[in-house]
Amino acid sequence: MRILILLLCCLFLFGSCSKEYQIRHKEDKIIGAWEFDKVFYKKDHALFRDDITHEYRHDIIEFFPDYSAIYDDYSLETIFDGEWRLIVDDDYYYDEGSDLEFFIDAMFYDFLYGEDFSLFGSIDRLNRNKLHLEAHDRRGKFTFKLRRL
């Protein structure tokens, strides 16, 4: 009987740490409404980063379980429909032997001007109340700090 209980515990531990479990767990944490709390931009080779929070003030992203999303742009008074997905860097996991590296890829459709926009960044921190992302463009790096509504 003890051996059976030990085997069941081992199966539970190994199964709960699987890659698929970790992906589902992250997706469950992402689902919900998030408001931009702080946004920074650091140009390549710059010494300091710029606080550009004012450009995103009161903007909200909401992620839904069906992988759809909306972006509520406060300054434009417009809501953009979109979709999102979670991406896992397998190479990081197998090469480094540590935790998986997660990325969020969200695409929003601009029906006003026909200029769709996206948010693609690595998830640096994710818990019940905070989501921190890093995203790069051709000239530098964005740091997004969002808080759950």
Per-residue pLDDT of the chain (149 residues; tens, 9 = 90+): 555 454 444 445 554 457 788 788 889 999 999 999 999 999 999 999 999 999 999 999 999 999 999 999 999 999 999 999 999 887 654 444 456 889 999 999 998 788 899 999 999 999 989 999 999 999 999 999 999 99
User: Which segments of the chain does DSSP mark as H helices, in order?
Assistant: 2-16, 19-30, 90-96
The one-letter code for the residue type at 100 is L
Q: Kind of pairing, strands 60-63 and 68-73?
A: antiparallel
Q: What is the per-residue pLDDT for 8?
A: 47
Q: What is the per-residue pLDDT for 112?
A: 79
Residues 6+ apart with CB under 8 A from 37: 53, 145, 146, 147
Can you list the domains of the chain with their CATH numbers?
19-148 (2.40.128.280)
Say how many CA atoms lie within 13 Å of 111 toward its Cβ.
7
pTM above 0.85, yes or no: no
Q: What is the per-residue pLDDT for 111?
A: 85
Q: Kind of pairing, strands 140-148 and 78-89?
A: unpaired
